[in-house]
């Protein structure tokens, strides 16, 4: 099955039509085969306008949400990015096309393993995946020029602010277990963080020491 037409349609109708105009993000979404990140029985739905189950009560995020969060980081290409919630690995793959190195943390080992395998098959070699509680960040590799959190948090974990480089951007959903608001925080200097609300969203919960 050739999914390139479905992928192009996804980018036109769900991504560009909704105002994402970062050409590098658009190119990454045209390139990465999203259907490989879902189970065989769901592949024909992979380019639809929705999140999909990936097992373990988790989901692969809606394509538009992946694009919007990625675009919000305003990536140039030389960044080191921390991603929390590897899940299927799809968002990880998109980021890997756009930055120097992606550090991704997933708490569920089977998901991390599955993601690792697909990312290796796609020969995306600038990705480190760690199994563990991502609410504490990844201290050894900090600071990061961007942190993208793909699970809903009750609050902004302090460790993310601590591990953000000056000028770095943190994008994360904050709210209750059902609904959140996507927030972007930019570290202007050592002590000044600028906070913006981007849009409403629905993510699975961020579970851990500084999450739920
Ligand atoms: N970007 C992924 C989203 C997966 S859903 C995708 O599109 O496939 C969110 C993921 O966050 C789930 O896999 C869940 O297990 C993971 N998660 C939740 N809390 C976490 C934590 N504290 N640390 C690491 N991963 C976490």
Q: Which of 51, 61, 88, 104 is catalytic?
A: 61
Q: Report the number of distinct structural domains present in the chain.
A: 1
| Beta carbons within 8 Å of 27's beta carbon, 6+ residues apart | 97
pLDDT of residue 11: 98
C-alpha of 170 from chain center: 11
Give the mutation target among 73, 88, 106 for probing the ligand 1 site: most ligand atoms within 8 A of CB. 106
The two tokens of residue 186 are 């930019």
Residue 22 sits in which domain range?
Answer: 3-201
Q: What is the pTM of this model?
A: 0.98
> Is 210 domain-assigned?
no
Percent of the chain with pLDDT over 70: 100
CA distance 32 to 199: 25
Q: Is 135 in the pocket of ligand 1 (CB under 6 A)?
A: yes
Q: How far, in Å, from the CA of 130 to the mean position of ligand 1?
A: 12
The CATH number of the domain holding residue 123 is 3.40.50.150
Query: Is position 88 annotated as part of the catalytic site?
Result: no
pLDDT for 78-124, tens place per residue?
Answer: 999 999 999 999 999 999 999 999 999 999 999 999 999 999 999 99
> Is 212 domain-assigned?
no
The two tokens of residue 17 are 């039509």
CA distance 211 to 185: 17
């Amino acid at each position: 099955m050739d999914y390139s037409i479905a992928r192009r349609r996804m980018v036109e109708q769900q991504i560009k039509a909704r105002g994402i105009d970062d050409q590098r993000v658009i190119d990454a979404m045209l390139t990465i085969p999203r259907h490989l990140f879902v189970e065989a029985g769901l592949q024909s739905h992979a380019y639809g306008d929705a999140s999909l189950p990936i097992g373990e009560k988790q989901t692969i995020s809606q394509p538009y949400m992946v694009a919007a969060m990625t675009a919000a980081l305003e990536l140039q290409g030389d960044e080191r990015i921390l991603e929390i919630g590897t899940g299927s690995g799809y968002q990880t793959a998109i980021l890997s096309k756009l930055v120097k190195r992606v550090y991704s943390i997933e708490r569920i080992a089977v998901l991390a393993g599955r993601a690792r395998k697909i990312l290796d098959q796609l020969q995306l070699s600038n990705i480190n995946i760690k199994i563990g509680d991502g609410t504490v960040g990844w201290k050894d590799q900090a600071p990061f020029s961007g942190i993208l959190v793909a699970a809903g948090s009750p609050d902004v974990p302090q460790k993310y602010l601590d591990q953000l480089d000056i000028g770095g951007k943190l994008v994360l959903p904050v709210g209750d277990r059902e609904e959140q608001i996507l927030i972007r925080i930019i570290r202007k200097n050592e002590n000044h963080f600028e906070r913006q609300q981007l849009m409403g969203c629905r993510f699975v919960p961020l579970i851990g020491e500084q999450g739920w």
